[in-house]
A and B are shown apart, each in its own frame.
Chain A
Amino acid sequence: SVLTQPPSASGTPGQRVTISCSGSTSNIGNYHVYWYQQLPGTAPKLLIYRDSQRPTGVPDRFSGSKSGTSASLAISGLRPEDEAHYFCGSWDDSLTAPWVFGGGTKLTVL
């Protein structure tokens, strides 16, 4: 994947965990980052848009940030129901492939 995410992350209930998404100046460095949550057996859902904005209904336990060519998703007060796959996405300079996804991170709540 053009955007690099760790394949897995874990935490215990109540903890704060972060998931990274690394790109380049062709994508994250110059464009907004989006985060998606995919609960088991369901479709992905937009979690964060334009780097740090939460859609209506997304708890403020979820937050996004960006610095240079990397972005992070932070989940505070971790809950068992947060166990899911998380994907990042961004626009890209490429005229032929103007959108890129990360490979996804499986978050396990221990």
Chain B
Amino acid sequence: QVHLQESGPGLLKPSETLSLSCTVSGDSIRVYYWGWIRQPPGKGLEWIAYFYYSGTTFYNPSLKSRVTMSVDTSRDQFSLKLDSVTAADAAVYYCATGAASPFDYWGQGTQLTVSS
């Protein structure tokens, strides 16, 4: 089994920067993608970004101007930064990884609340 664990601040004020990290552990399997997804309360899934092992990072156009994703494949860790958060960014943030797609295996998620 592959286990992913997100870590994040939980609570931010508007205009602050969200920094998330994800650690992958468990069975050693070959993966080619690492990704981030979020889910606002009561809503569907929105992919944020994903990294392909060739070195390319894809960002959701709706968030691209505010998002940076980095991956350290040698340490099975990757991270996400989202600048200038607003109430609209409140969501559960998931990290994921996979071979067939960026989202084969998911973390349990970390909640973000944005409030002054």
Q: A residues engaging B (CB < 8 A)?
A: 1, 32, 34, 36, 42-46, 49-50, 53, 55, 87, 89, 91, 96-99, 101-104
Contacts and interface: CB of A to CB of B under 8 A. Distances in A.
A36 B102 CA distance: 13
Interface SS of B by simple majority: loop
A44 B45 contact: yes
Given A99-B50, A99-B58, A46 B44 contact: no
Given A43-B107, A89-B101, A104 B44 contact: yes
Interface size class of B (residues with CB under 8 A): 20 to 34
Contacts of B58: 98-99
B94 A49 contact: no
18 contacts: A1-B44, A32-B101, A34-B100, A34-B103, A36-B103, A43-B109, A44-B94, A44-B106, A46-B101, A46-B103, A46-B104, A50-B100, A53-B100, A87-B44, A96-B64, A99-B58, A99-B101, A99-B102
